[in-house]
Amino acid sequence: MTACSLLSYIAIAWMKMVPMQTIRSRVQFFKISALSLVFCVSVVFGNISLRFLPVSFNQAVGATTPFFTAIFAYLMTLKREAWLTYLTLVPVVAGVIIASGGEPSFHLFGFIMCISATAARALKSVLQGILLSSEGDYKLVVRISR
């Protein structure tokens, strides 16, 4: 992340590849901070889970990201998907549950970290859609006031 930040700064400030942008308001700073925090949590939890679980199992659990995305989208924006969408998620989630029961190197803490990382990735996607859209301020305010 440090290398990415440094190289991005060089590309923007010195090489003038794209114009420099500044944070214009506290609201914009809050949006960036919230997305950064959720992203950081997803990376940290994902790395912790890799200490306890094999990569293949980690990837299998990651297949539930659309399930968590649909849940968070509904909870945060009250946006419902088509019933067929939810129906197609059932075999994926069921497969992960079956795989969890049959995983020889299953570790509960690693599994909790892996599920948490997957949920955090989904939450980041939903937050990104809400916070970075032009009407994101309105959606967020309406949802908080309820």
Closest CA to 119 of 101, 138, 93, 143: 93
Half-sphere exposure of 66 (CA within 13 A, CB side): 13
Mean pLDDT across the stretch 12-21? Answer: 88
pTM of the prediction? 0.76
Q: Percent of the chain, pLDDT > 70?
A: 91
Contact 116, 52 (CB under 8 A): no
Contact 73, 127 (CB under 8 A): no
Looking at residue 1, its pLDDT comes to 74
Looking at residue 136, its pLDDT comes to 46
Contact 99, 57 (CB under 8 A): yes
At 134, is the pLDDT very low, low, confident or very high (cuts 50, 70, 90)? low
36 vs 132: which has the higher pLDDT = 36
H or E segment at 134?
A: none
Q: Read off the DSSP letter of residue 82.
A: P
**18: pLDDT strictly greater than 90:** no
